[in-house]
Structures are given as structure tokens and as C-alpha cells.
Amino acid sequence: MKVLVTGGCGYIGSHTVCELLYANHEVVILDDFSNSKKDVLQKIETLTGQKPRFYEGKVQDKALLKEIFESQKIEAVIHFAGYKAVGESVEKPLMYYENNLESTLHLLEIMQEFSCKNFVFSSSATVYGSPKSLPIKEDFPLSTTNPYGTTKLMIEQILKDLSKSDPTWNITILRYFNPIGNEKTGLLGENPQGIPNNLMPYIVRVANGILPCLSVFGDDYGTPDGTGVRDYIHVVDLAKGHVKALEHFSGLRIYNLGTGHGYSVLDLVKTFEKVNGVKVPYKIVERRKGDIAACYADPTKAQQELGWTAEETLEDMCRDSYQYIIQEAKREKSLK
């Protein structure tokens, strides 16, 4: 299939582009580098031996979208592009609503115009809010606690309405749990600017001495060791889920992409230390506002309907995450 990947240079997007190319799909990337680096394109080529057609720009730009659809015979779209920082979305809600909603609306309008009706949307477990029980199934009640999450939920609603109005659309909504890790060579990975918000990017920076100490946000949750529990999923497994979604389009579908296992913050720290032979100093601090105690998926539906299962272990995720930061530091040093 010829697939347009918006945000194809980002963390999940770039891994998905590689998996699509390995599975012999043709890829066109649209990205504005707002949260990625230009060298990702070269890295994709090094890994896959292929150079996807690339357009630099914003998904909101309808003229650019039109140009892409006029010149490329796009058969399906995977839509990753969007702002994703929870804290920033609370500070700048209008920016989040404008960017995430407008881009998706413009994209869907152009797709409709060109009769391209195969769409995979990058949603998040954040749409389950604070779940009433665990593990989380796709039909659980939905709610959000911040504007970022609300944009995901609103887009899901737009997609449901669109599918109802025109059942010839194939729309697959993928709700991701907590992606970490990276492809095995350590070439592609997650490299957030400044101080990371998420746990794994923080841990790797403490492990290699860029940051002094991890703050563990609370040890008084109702979890086995009192720290927050999440369903960490290897980003390559997550990327493979998108290839499966493309190959199983059928009307409106919604899937959890998670492993089904919950690990605590301290499980992650200890596993990381063990597999990498490093120390991750940490201190317990106050809970972070807006955090929930525990969240993990029931991934049965994706197993049964897409034939997809996460295969990588927590050990793999910890090893790969650290490899990337070591390799990236070497690459940066060699450029100086």
C-alpha cells in the first residue's frame, strides 16, 4: 500500500516508517520537524536501504496536502503528527486545540476529496482517564484530565461521526500505552529537548550522568510498591501494530496497543540497573499532579482481530533505551 505518514520523523512515526518499509509498503512522509531532527531521514535510509518521498510542512497546510494527494497515489494515511506534552497543553490549551484538531480536520477533508478513505489514528490510553478497574478494555468509559488528552478524545469522536456518516471509510484508532525503547541498532530513538517529562528518557539521562537523580513521583499509591504502575511497550512492537492495522482495515475499529503487564516506577529502575549494569540514583518526592495510580491494557482484541502481540520484554526495552542514548552521545561527539 502507498501510505502517507504524518509526523513520520518523530519517535513512534520513524519506527513505524521502518516497519512499513520492511513489510514492503511504500511510504510518503509529511513532517515539520517541530519535535524531530532532519537526520532521522538519513537514519531511516541507513536502516532500510530505502528513501521515502519527503514533504516538509504542517498538516494544517491544505495547499500542501492537496499537492501531496495530487502527485502521489496515496491509499492510506497514518496520522501521528500532533503536539503531545501534557503539561504544555495545560499551559497553552488553544495552541493544542488549534494544532491537533485543525490538522486532523484538514487531513480528513482532503482525504475525502481524493476518495482516500483508509485512516489510522494515533490515540492514547490517556482517553481512559482514571480507569475504574484493570486491565483496561476498549469499551471502558472515556474521560480526560488535560487538553492534550481531550484533543485525542475529540478526534476519536470526529472519526466515529465520520464513519457513521459514510461507512465506506476504514478508520482504525490505536490507543497506545507507554512506548519506550527503540530499534536495536541504537540509530533511531527518543531524544526530547531539555528536561524530559517522561520516565524512561529521564532514567537514561540519570544513568549516563546528564541529570543527577531521578525524582520518583509518589510512593503512597495503592500499588504493590506504592509507585505508579504503567504498561510499558517497546516502540518497535507498537510500530508493528500499525502495519497490522493497515493490513486489517474494516470499518471503524479501536484497539489497545499494550503488553497487558503493569510495571511500577521502581520495577523499571531496578530492571534498567540490572540489564545495563549502571546505577540510577533516585529520591521519592510528592505525587505529580494529574497522575493516576495504575494503568495497563487488556490487549486481547488486538491479538484476536489484528493477530498482533507485543513480543519484547521489559529487559529488552531497558537495554535498547540505554543503547540509543550511548550511541547518540557518541554520534554527537564525533560531529564536534
Contact residues toward ligand UFG (CB under 6 A) are 84, 86, 124-126, 177-178, 197-199, 202, 214-217, 228, 230, 265, 288, 291, 295
Question: Would you state the torsion angle of the CA atoms of residues 13, 17, 254, 116, taken in this order, to the nearest 10 degrees?
Answer: 110
C-alpha–C-alpha distance, residues 172 and 154, integer Å: 15
Give the burial class of 96: count Cβ atoms within 10 A of its Cβ; 0-12 exposed, 13-18 middle, 19 or more buried: buried
Instruction: Write down the catalytic residue from 11, 83, 148, 263.
Output: 148
- In the bound complex, what is the minimum distance in angstroms from residue 177's beta carbon to ligand UFG? 6
- Using the minimum distance from each CB to ligand UFG, give the nearer residue, 25 or 190: 190
- In the bound complex, what is the minimum distance in angstroms from residue 11's beta carbon to ligand UFG? 11
- Using the minimum distance from each CB to ligand UFG, give the nearer residue, 169 or 176: 176
- In the bound complex, what is the minimum distance in angstroms from residue 247's beta carbon to ligand UFG? 25
Is 96 an annotated catalytic residue?
Answer: no
Give the burial class of 286: count Cβ atoms within 10 A of its Cβ; 0-12 exposed, 13-18 middle, 19 or more buried: exposed
What Rg, from alpha-carbon coordinates, does the chain have? Answer: 19
Using the Cα atoms of residue 182, residue 140, residue 76 and residue 310 in order, give the sign of their dihedral: positive
Question: Closest CB to ligand UFG belongs to which residue?
Answer: 228
Cell 513480543 found at: 311
Q: Are 40 and 9 in contact (CB under 8 A)?
A: yes
Cite the beta strand spans of 99-217 per DSSP E: 118-124, 170-176, 178-180, 214-217
- In the bound complex, what is the minimum distance in angstroms from residue 107's beta carbon to ligand UFG? 21
- Using the minimum distance from each CB to ligand UFG, give the nearer residue, 216 or 318: 216
- Using the minimum distance from each CB to ligand UFG, give the nearer residue, 28 or 266: 266
- In the bound complex, what is the minimum distance in angstroms from residue 163's beta carbon to ligand UFG? 23
- Using the minimum distance from each CB to ligand UFG, give the nearer residue, 44 or 239: 239
Q: Are 170 and 75 in contact (CB under 8 A)?
A: no
Catalytic machinery residues? 148
